[in-house]
Amino acid sequence: MTEWLRVRLNALPTPLHRRVRRLWLSIVPIIQCSLAAGVAWWVAVVVFGHPQPFFAPIAAVISLGLSLGKRWRRSAELVSGVVIGILVGDLLISVIGSGTWQIIVVVALAMTIAVFIDDGPLIPMQAASSAVLVATLLPPGGVGGFHRAIDALIGGLIGILIGALVPVNPAHRARRDAAGLLATMRDASRRLASGLREMDEAEVFAALASARGTQEAINTMRSDMRGGKEVSAISPLYWTSRERLQRISATADPIDNAVRNFRIIARRALGMTQRGEALDPAIIDILDDIGEAFEVLRAMMIAKPGEEPDQADAARVLRSVARKAKPELVAHSSLSETAVMAELRSLLIDMLMISGLRRSSAAATLR
């Protein structure tokens, strides 16, 4: 997004800003689905001569979707479900005929077989819908069901092909998601430090609530990271990005763990504030420093290759914070304060791993 567009977007009211940004980020997947639907219809009609192959464009759109992840799996589930439904429906209806109870039997058997074969959510639904189609509209033993299965295969393959030839930048969404989470943790850390200094229970609770509200963003980040790796494997345009995607994806677990550790810190801090128990100012200063370190990690995540800050810059900042988190600070402290320091040190290990260190190296930094 250009700087001019970003400025204009930021000037919009928050609800409209969120919707326009969501649309902007979905433009390429929308284009992919549109192209795939049209091409799949054309191939089914012109190349295979199928009359009204409505399921070819439907299959193409379902196999792509707006999500980057599991496109291969969606295509496989789609085709498998259609084949199961058609085979079961065709075989049974030719024997038991059509009617209410026949539909019940056909759908139950098709879904049972689909669930037995695989635990994917799409296979049973497609098996059921295909079985219903055979039981109600398509004559058993005819070519309609066979054409439907071919159309599903055409749509799935065209969807994958369009995804490879008109790809989403596989690193963009993953970097954006991770940077957004790190920005949330930056703000929450600063807010927690401020609340602890002022002994402001509402401020401390707000920091905890902010960290608790990140689970959906974490799930989205993981999905986009998996999707980015899939795009880099499928699309020749991004084969050179595989190593970079691997590095970005390696931050998923440390980011998730860092958020979880922060929640624990915030819960303990909230309990201390509610009891009127003040935290050592030196530990609060470390929390402030952690907020700044989250900002460096955020900037590292959105920096392009060769730009600063890089992983080494982020690790250097985090090492300076880690040096302040000495066990001696809580040598004569309460159990609550000692527990907060222990979680802070664990959080710093997670953050060092986000910057590219192995767990053993990150733990050695705090030893």
pLDDT 10s digits, 84-139: 887 888 778 878 877 888 889 989 999 999 888 887 777 888 888 888 877 787 66
pLDDT for 5 equals 58
Q: pLDDT tens digits, residue range 21-35?
A: 777 767 888 888 899
Q: Is 14 helix (H, G, I), strand (E, B) or coil?
A: helix
Token pair recorded at residue 273: 């504030």
% the chain with pLDDT above 90: 40
Question: Residue 27 has what pLDDT?
Answer: 81
Please name which of 23, 31, 25 lies closest in space to residue 61, comparing C-alpha atoms.
31
* Interatomic CA distance for residues 18 and 230, integer angstroms: 27
Q: pLDDT, tens digit, for every residue of 161-197?
A: 887 777 677 777 888 899 999 999 999 999 999 999 9
Q: How far apart are CA 86 and CA 290, in angstroms?
A: 58
Query: Which tokens belong to 54?
Result: 């409505």
- Which stretch, 5-9, 72-76, 119-123, has highest mean pLDDT? 119-123
Residue count of the chain: 367
**Sorting pLDDT into bands at 50, 70 and 90, what band is 71?**
low
C-alpha distances in angstroms, 15 versus 1, 20, 154, 226, 301? 19, 9, 39, 29, 26
Provide mean pLDDT across the span 43-59.
86
Closest by Cα among 11, 57, 268 to 159 = 57
**Rounded-to-integer distance, Cα 83 and Cα 90, Å:** 10
When pLDDT is cut at 50, 70 and 90, the band that residue 142 belongs to is low
Q: Which two tokens stand for residue 50?
A: 């199928």
Quick one: pLDDT at residue 311?
Answer: 92
The answer to whether residue 224 scores a pLDDT higher than 60 is yes
Residues 6 or more apart whose Cβ sits within 8 Å of residue 184? 210, 211, 214, 217
- To the nearest 5 percent, what fractions of the chain are helix, strand and coil? 80, 0, 20
Residue 9, pLDDT score: 60
| pLDDT in the model for residue 147 | 78
User: H or E segment at 79?
Assistant: helix 71-96
Residues 297, 262 contacting (CB under 8 angstroms): no
Q: What is the mean pLDDT of the chain?
A: 85
Q: Which tens digit of pLDDT belongs to each residue from 282-317? A: 999 999 999 999 999 999 998 888 888 999 999 999
Cα separation, 111 vs 129, whole angstroms: 10
Rounded to whole angstroms, the Cα distance separating 287 from 278 reads 14
- Residue 143 confidence class, pLDDT cut points 50, 70, 90: low
Closest CA to 164 of 15, 19, 254, 35: 35
Instruction: Report the predicted TM-score, pTM, of the whole model to 2 decimal places.
Output: 0.73
Residue 266, pLDDT above cutoff 80: yes
pLDDT band at residue 141 using 50, 70 and 90 as cut-offs = low
In this structure, of 130-144, 167-181, 240-254, 328-342, the range with the lowest mean pLDDT score is 130-144
Distance CA 355, CA 78 (A): 39
- The confidence score (pLDDT) of residue 344 equals 94
Among 81-95, 156-170, 345-359, which range has the highest average pLDDT?
345-359
Give the three-class secondary structure for 277: coil
Per-residue pLDDT at 272: 93
- What backbone phi and psi angles, to 5 degrees, belong to 176? -65, -45
Helix count and strand count (H, E) for the chain = 17, 0
pLDDT value for 90: 78
Q: Give pLDDT, residue 212.
A: 94
